[in-house]
Structure 1
Amino acid sequence: MVPTDTLHVTRHTSALGSMETVSAPPHPALAPLIHSYLGYDERTLAPLRRREVATGSITVIIGFSAIRVWSPRDARYGPGSTSSFVAGLHGGPAIVEHDGRQAGIQLDLTPLGAYTLLGLPLVEIADRVVHLEDLPGWDAGALVDRLQDAPDWSARFAFLDRVLVRRREMGPDPLPEVARCWDLLVASAGRIEVAALARETGWSRRHLGARFRETLGLPPKTVARLLRFRHAVELLDDPLRSWAEIAADAGYYDQAHFNRDFKAFAGCTPGAYLGSRLPGGGFAS
């Protein structure tokens, strides 16, 4: 069992309805691969659509209720109904809708962790939302049933630990050169040049781009832009910073450059994002 003193419970209500979340750290063997476990139960007075901005994580949802989710960048897929899915690295926002209730567990995997735990090159799910049952080795129905039948969140997270530790032991490891480049991109919040990454590996920029895209789903230049954007989103909560200061601190040439990238990854301007954020994440769409 996951110790109950490691669980963090948050509850809030608003004009939209109520949300309860329960978070916990994963097993220590999974710590480099998974940011967190997050259980959630959201109930709203009416159907709700939220836009989720692009992140530097691979999101896995193990859902206990049906929702509709899709990526506007992936024209092959519309708002199909699902309960459990994986969203690869995205160069833009994704849309999530539910009819008044959504509940389940969210796993935020690092891209390197997703490569190992999902057991496939992430280029296969980049800019896509894929049903969990369509991934090799995932029996989504049995997983959902087992988690729903568990007596509490501590037992659910403990079961996930066992499942994912086994997948960690069986999964592939990324090339060390790709792992090193990812670490450098994260440490610099996307401000390191691709040429410097190529020098670090001894590869050509072309070869680096191919290996990076195969493993993580997007080319290093796009990943760098994504990490700069995520850093900028974090800075938005500082009321003492001006837009120009946020743009400069996040590594943008100027505020116009900042606004263009923000619109690409969020689908709106920074001001619109701040003005429409929703409880539980995302913003009104």
Structure 2
Amino acid sequence: MVAWADVAVPRPAACPPGVGMAGFRQRPGTPAAELAMVAYPLVTVFIDLGDSGGAGWQSSGGYRRGSVVAGLLPGDFRATCHRAECLQIRLEPIAAAALADLSGTVATLEEVWGRDAARAEERLRAARSWDERFAIAAGVLGRRLGVRHPVDPEVAQSWRRIRASHGRLRVETLADEVGWSRKRLWSRFRAQLGVSPKRAARLVRFDRAVHLLAAGHAPAGVATVSGYSDQPHLHREVQEFAGLTPTAVAAAPWLSVDHVAWPARTTPRRIGMQGL
């Protein structure tokens, strides 16, 4: 349950590989809200479906209305919602790399997709249900994914290993596993995914830690299980990626919707710290 919005999610088989989707409709009578984005290891497409332009986006690149795309580590990025309705699409970087070169930027959907952006928005607004919208978005993404060159298999494997290890593998280990030098992996990974493998690992580790914090676990235990050297190390990472303290990020509105909108990738709220 989310206090400020109704949330719709697609059936698991409705999304292309490496893609997640959720629909948000701000509830009538709820006041305008400002949500600070908490960085996570995914590229995000926000498609504004409201009739009154109820979604606005503030980033270091300025203020925008309408549909936008946020790359990895977009910095200070805030959403302003007033009677907003939006389709949010989250893409694994190895999938997003086939759609656009983002490298951490925030751009309008038109800047990334060109004329396809307006056509997609028109079809999505005309759809009669969220299921129809999810099907339309999956079709658009599937066609775009099919015409761009994918990332190198070695880069894709390294990204998956970073995710599977919760960001705790060394770059040297990843390079050995794919048969590349450390320098080559670093260069190709950064060129294709927009961040270095070390930065990606830090972001994946941070993402796991903040979801554990949001689930109610104490910072000291989260630091230990997430691979930080100590609690001050966790504090520094949260401050760098979110601009907040661990206590504040645990209560961030952006994270409060994840267990509803993205249950497949959110840490369960009632779980022992052992074995995580």
TM-score range, shorter chain: 0.7 to 0.9
C-alpha displacement of 1:136: 4.2
Change (3 A) 1:135 1:82: same
* Cα pair 1:150 1:156 within 8 Å, conserved: yes
Q: Which amino acid aligns with 2:79?
A: V
Give a deviation string over 1:9-65, Cα, whole Å, max 9, x none. Answer: x6x44xxxx3111001465671x220x221111146433211111001110111123
The corresponding residue for 2:64 is 81
Change (3 A) 1:275 1:136: closer
Q: Does 1:266 align with 2:242?
A: yes
* Percentage of pairs with the same residue: 35
Give a deviation string over 1:158-203, Cα, whole Å, max 9, x none. Answer: 2222222222322211101101100110110000001111222332
* Cα pair 1:20 1:41 within 8 Å, conserved: yes
* Cα pair 1:70 1:128 within 8 Å, conserved: no
The corresponding residue for 2:156 is 179
- What CA distance in whole angstroms lies between the structure 1 residues aligned with 2:128 and 2:74? 38
User: Where do residues 96-175 of structure 1 align in structure 2 (5 Å cutoff)?
Assistant: 96-98=79-81, 100-116=82-98, 118=99, 120=100, 122=101, 125-137=102-114, 139-175=116-152
C-alpha displacement of 1:150: 1.0
Q: Which runs of 5+ in 1 are unaligned?
A: 1-9
TM-score scaled by length of structure 1 = 0.81
Change (3 A) 1:29 1:127: closer
- What CA distance in whole angstroms lies between the structure 1 residues aligned with 2:76 and 2:199? 14
Query: What is the root-mean-square deviation of aligned Cα atoms in Å?
Result: 2.1
User: What SS is found at the alignment partner of 2:25?
Assistant: strand
- What CA distance in whole angstroms lies between the structure 2 residues aligned with 1:128 and 1:138? 20
* Cα pair 2:15 2:138 within 8 Å, conserved: no
The corresponding residue for 2:273 is none
* Cα pair 1:69 1:129 within 8 Å, conserved: no
- What CA distance in whole angstroms lies between the structure 1 residues aligned with 2:177 and 2:207? 24
2:58 to 57, 60, 70: 70
Change (3 A) 1:221 1:276: closer
- What CA distance in whole angstroms lies between the structure 2 residues aligned with 1:280 and 1:253? 29
Q: Does 1:49 align with 2:25?
A: no
User: What SS is found at the alignment partner of 1:24?
Assistant: coil
Q: Does 1:37 align with 2:21?
A: yes
TM-score scaled by length of structure 2 = 0.84
- What CA distance in whole angstroms lies between the structure 2 residues aligned with 1:29 and 1:134? 24
The corresponding residue for 1:206 is 183
* Cα pair 1:115 1:174 within 8 Å, conserved: yes
C-alpha displacement of 1:93: 4.5
- What CA distance in whole angstroms lies between the structure 1 residues aligned with 2:93 and 2:252? 28
* Cα pair 1:37 1:105 within 8 Å, conserved: yes
Change (3 A) 1:71 1:206: farther
- What CA distance in whole angstroms lies between the structure 2 residues aligned with 1:91 and 1:256? 24
The corresponding residue for 2:44 is 59
C-alpha displacement of 1:231: 0.9
- What CA distance in whole angstroms lies between the structure 2 residues aligned with 1:150 and 1:198? 46
User: What SS is found at the alignment partner of 2:72?
Assistant: coil
- What CA distance in whole angstroms lies between the structure 1 residues aligned with 2:30 and 2:8? 22
C-alpha displacement of 1:82: 2.0
Q: Which runs of 5+ in 2 are unaligned?
A: 259-276
The corresponding residue for 2:226 is 250
- What CA distance in whole angstroms lies between the structure 1 residues aligned with 2:24 and 2:136? 17
User: What SS is found at the alignment partner of 2:185?
Assistant: helix
Change (3 A) 1:86 1:276: closer
User: What SS is found at the alignment partner of 1:61?
Assistant: strand
Q: Which amino acid aligns with 1:269?
A: T
How many residues of Structure 1 are paired with residues of Structure 2 in the alignment? 253
Change (3 A) 1:130 1:26: farther
C-alpha displacement of 1:138: 5.0
